[in-house]
Amino acid sequence: MRYRILTIATLAAACLPLPALAHPHIFAEARLEVVAGNDGNLAELRNVWRFDEVFSSSVLLDFDKNTDLKLDEKELAELGEVMRTSLADFHYFTTITLNGAAVGVQKPDAIHVSIDDSNQLLVIFAVKPEKPVPLKGKLTFGIYDPSMYTSIDFPTDGDLVAQGAGFSKCQHKVVRPDPDEVIAQNSSTLTDAFFNDPTGTDMTKLFATRLEVTC
């Protein structure tokens, strides 16, 4: 029943043939709000993900226990908890760096899910950093699936934003890497990364859209 949800977290990756991991099978449009705290540290990252119609339909079938072709509050709550648990080992697809060093995230209090008017799965949640992250130096924020099974796209640069007075004196920009340039600049390391880690954990981040903040 939960196969497709677990696939989001790449728990099914070991069961898939290697070529299947070379391109995405699930698609989501996202919005990320990076929020500054009043103490001069990063407060939280707020996520909104809207999944494609095919995946949304499959989730409906998997979690519609009473077969009424919709998800009631209980079924939605179960779906949210499954996602909250299954995505934990993958840091909720969240990447934070401070001066080049990666920072982990805490488990969210809850993941809220619903089906919107377009019958697409809508996922909303916030994560906090696992340790204090001062708003100093260079910070980067991004959302991506390291297995490349799920494509998470930010439709506009306005879907990656820094909020709060703590960012008022910082410069920030959205970076959308050009795949051809990334390959040209990292050809040897990408080859090594593929053979050492064919699921893409290390190399996917080079292609991921990110928000860069310099304070």
Hey, where are the domains in the chain?
A: 3-214
Cβ 144 vs Cβ 203: under 8 Å = no
Two structure tokens written together for 1: 């029943």
Burial class (CB in 10 A: 0-12, 13-18, 19+), 34: buried
Structure pTM?
0.84
Residue 57: CB atoms within 10 Å: 15
Residues 155-213: tens digit of each pLDDT: 999 999 999 999 999 999 999 987 777 677 666 666 665 555 545 555 677 778 999 99
Concatenate the DSSP letters of all residues of 155-206 into one string.
SSGGGEEEESGGGTT-EEEEE---HHHHHHHTHHHHHHHHHH-TT-TTTGGG
Cβ 140 vs Cβ 129: under 8 Å = no
Give Cα 55 to chain centroid, integer Å: 16
Concatenate the DSSP letters of all residues of 17-49 into one string.
-GGGGGS-SEEEEEEEEEEE-TTSBEEEEEEEE
User: With pLDDT > 90 as the criterion, what percentage of the chain qualifies?
Assistant: 67
Residues 42-82: tens digit of each pLDDT: 999 999 999 999 999 989 988 999 999 899 999 999 999 99
Residue 201's pLDDT is 52
Residues 2-18: tens digit of each pLDDT: 445 554 543 333 333 33
- Pairwise CA distance, residues 205 & 214, whole Å: 19
Distances (CA, A) of 140 to 145, 162, 192: 16, 11, 25
The DSSP secondary-structure symbol of 15 reads G
Residues 104-128: tens digit of each pLDDT: 999 999 999 999 999 999 999 999 9
Residue 109 neighbours by CB under 8 Å, 6+ apart = 126
